[in-house]
Structure 1
Amino acid sequence: MRIVMQPARRSEKDVEQHYQDTIVKPVVFDDHTDVLDAATVDRLRGLFPDGQAQMWGVVPGKKGVNVSRIKKMAPGDWVFFSGDKRLYFGGTIALMWRSKDLATRLWGTDGAGSTWEYMYALSGTRGFDIPVEEVRQLLGWNPNRNIMGISVLGDEESERLQTYLTLEAATAAVTDDAEDAADAERAAAAVAAFDGELERTARRAQRGEQAALKRSLVSGGAGRCALCGRALPAAFLIAAHIKKRSECSDEEKRDLANIAMLACTLGCDAVYEHGYVTVGVGGILEISPLAAGIPEIAAYIADRLSGRTVGWWTPQREPYYQWHRTHTFKEAPPA
């Protein structure tokens, strides 16, 4: 999964109108079958059974400057919308196609008479509020670098940002049969050619503070999950970092009294780590609207977490919970 940076400043009147028309209000496929080819409509309906999807597009640019960048994009990639020095919205590219007629109908044309004909539909969208300065520091960019035109990040930068913000790909079009067959042939050839060692010694780096964290949170061989409140044996509880450990400073990692909470391995650790729940100011559990799209997760949250207040919250721990809310929690897209 690569990361695509899509400049879209909502402070600009035209961009805001486009955002309202096709992001806040998804596009209904049946309204546009006269300008969309039947194959694209069928693929959209297969990906979005409710018959509508959020859509965006890219102009070819002067002398086709954007076309080479667009060709690097593919279904399954993640797109970030940026503007006014922030990343504010994102989602998975579900499908890509080209339609000058539909783009003109939805968004009109720009001052040069071009339209946003290189189109894509989005799935699994969520809101963000991440300063571009934070992205610059994370990826080691020049302090003056801005996101000026649509661009596709390289594998290393994409992976770093994906891990940092706990991005997960949503529904996307599958590759065509030819690509699937080629992948299968490569995999079969790799298996047939394997002649390496069958047994290897596995080594795992131990986090120095983990044992101390667990001891500080568990007493008498048992403890209570901070999220669901269940009292469980220590074997079913882990010392979960409130703020993603990889993003903690050394000082934060040593803040053993505040940086972690007990979370059960029966579900709470996973839904917190993947951003389907978070802890608000005062300890009120907040539930991501995206959880409703996964029935098993929604059922777990409704059964164990809905309406709860987390007693583990304190003002000292609030900065760590605040980081989780702004970087990991799956916010609703901004309206």
Structure 2
Amino acid sequence: MSRVILQPTGNKDAREHYVDTLVKPVDLLKIKPFISTEEFNHLVELYPSGLVPTWGVTAGVNNVNANKWRKIQPADVTFFSANKVLYSYGFVTFKIHNKLLAQHLWEFNSKGETWEYIYFLDELREHDIPISLFNEIVGYSENFKVQGFSVLDEDKSDALLSYFDLESETAVQPVSEEEYRDIIESFDINILDIEGKTKSRAEQGFLRKALFGNKTIDGCGICGKEYPISFLIAAHIKKRSFCSNEEKLDYRNIVMPMCKFGCDDLFEKGYITVNEGIISVNDKTTTIPLKIYLSHIEGMHCGYWNVDTIKYFDWHRNHHSLSKV
């Protein structure tokens, strides 16, 4: 499950690093000489623009920060704090322990330490959360202040993320197949309390990871156009609420990417179906602009139609042949 990382930026070094390697992301070519080929290729997949928002922490006394850093996973959310406000946040994508890279980026502090426990971020956004509100949400005393790098436990993290409904559009939580199975067997989508929202995020994260892997760009399964994955949905072919647990666990065949620019909604509402691999338009009352949109995708081949997915596409077509707008 995603956790919240608190990162104070009140001192001079932190303020400079925030500008130098977050506000102004690091050129990937500047990082390349200090990392392995595998790490470089992974960052290329994560950051096709070649610009990488980068942060790091020192080991800390008795490795206290290093031990906290080891808890960090992709899709965790880092909140940056100063002047009693959580003023921005970003989602973790990847981390590496690399002293030479840290020295190259930030040199050393007055104690001769460098910020070698590095993690990379994406989707950086400004926010404005007073520490007083944060304390109330997570259950801290009203006198709590963010005075050091820390990683919140799952309950406090879930409380904050659910309160602000924060979820990454690109970074994916590492959820194992066994954990996914447990979620499917125990999850009631109608119960949208903190635990329910957490399970929903984890389920979607697992499906997106299974569908997109480390890609940042992929094609819509309906119109075929390529988009950043933040504009693609891991959409169920057979409506999720009608799926048995066994069908939900058939995740390699039950979901496909659909774009937010129309295809996901059109498929969900039954304006389009897939018959023998060909996209068909249902005879539904519509408008001229929508007819024009539908005419561009009608008759196209759906690459996700195959022997393993036929039953789900057939269910979708039969279901919507009986439904009304």
User: What RMSD, in angstroms, separates the aligned Cα atoms of the two structures?
Assistant: 3.4
1:184 matches 2:177: yes
Shift of residue 297 of structure 1?
Answer: 5.6
CA gap 1:29/1:60 in 2 versus in 1, 3 angstroms: same
| Aligned mates of 1:155, 1:6 — CA distance in 2 | 17
Hey, what's the Cα distance between the residues in 2 that align with 1:79 and 1:36?
23
Partner of 1:123: 122
Query: Could you tell me which residue of structure 2 aligns to residue 307 of structure 1?
Result: none
Is this contact kept in 2: 1:99–1:117, CA < 8 A?
yes
| 1:57-110 alpha-carbon deviations (Å, 9 max, x no partner) | 011012212122111111111111111111011111000111111111111111
- Cα 1:204/1:5, change in 2 over 3 Å: closer
Instruction: Give 1:313's aligned residue.
Output: none
Distance 1:145 1:36 in 2: 38
**Residue in structure 2 matching 1:294, options 231, 238, 253:** 231
Whole-Å Cα distance in 2 between the matches of residues 89 and 298 of structure 1?
A: 28
Deviations 1:261-297 (A, max 9, x none): xxxxxxxxxxxxxxxxxxxxxxxxxxxxxx9963866
Contact 2:9/2:80 (8 A) holds in 1: yes
In the TM superposition, structure 1's runs of 4+ consecutive aligned residues that sit over 4 Å from their partners are 185-191, 202-205, 295-300
Partner of 2:21, secondary structure, is: helix
Paired with 1:35 and 1:204, the residues of 2 have a C-alpha distance of 47
Tell whether the 8 Å contact from 2:169 to 2:229 is kept in structure 1 after alignment.
no
Percent identity, please. 31
Distance 1:136 1:21 in 2: 30
Give the structure 2 partner of residue 308 of structure 1. Answer: none
Counterpart of 2:83 in structure 1: which amino acid?
D
- 1:258-269 equivalent positions in 2, closer than 5 A: none
Structure 2: runs of 5+ lacking an equivalent: 193-227, 233-258, 264-288, 290-325
Deviation of the 1:171 alpha carbon: 2.5
How many pairs were matched up? 201
Determine helix, strand or coil for the equivalent of 1:33: helix
Higher relative contact order (CA 8 A, sep 6+): 1
Residues of 1 paired with 2:113 and 2:60: CA distance?
8
The equivalent residue for 2:45 is: 46
Note if contact 1:25-1:54 (Cα within 8 Å) is conserved in structure 2: yes
2:86 equivalent in structure 1: 87
Closer, same or farther: CA 6–63 of 1 in aligned 2, 3 Å: same
- Per-residue CA deviations over 1:206-236 (Å, capped at 9, x if unaligned) read xxxxxxxxxxxxxxxxxxxxxxxxxxxxxxx
Following superposition, the deviation at residue 185 of structure 1 comes to 5.1
Indicate how the Cα distance of structure 1 residues 173 and 49 shifts in structure 2: closer, same or farther if over 3 A, else same.
farther
What is the match of residue 103 of structure 1?
Answer: 102
Q: Which residue does 1:138 correspond to in 2?
A: 137
TM-score computed with the length of structure 1 as normaliser:
0.53
Note if 1:165 corresponds to 2:159. no
With over 3 angstroms needed to count, the CA separation of the structure-2 counterparts of 1:8 and 1:299, relative to structure 1, is farther
**One-letter amino acid of the counterpart of residue 164, structure 1:** Y
The residue type paired with residue 36 of structure 1 is I
Q: CA–CA distance in 2 between the matches of 1:90 and 1:120?
A: 14
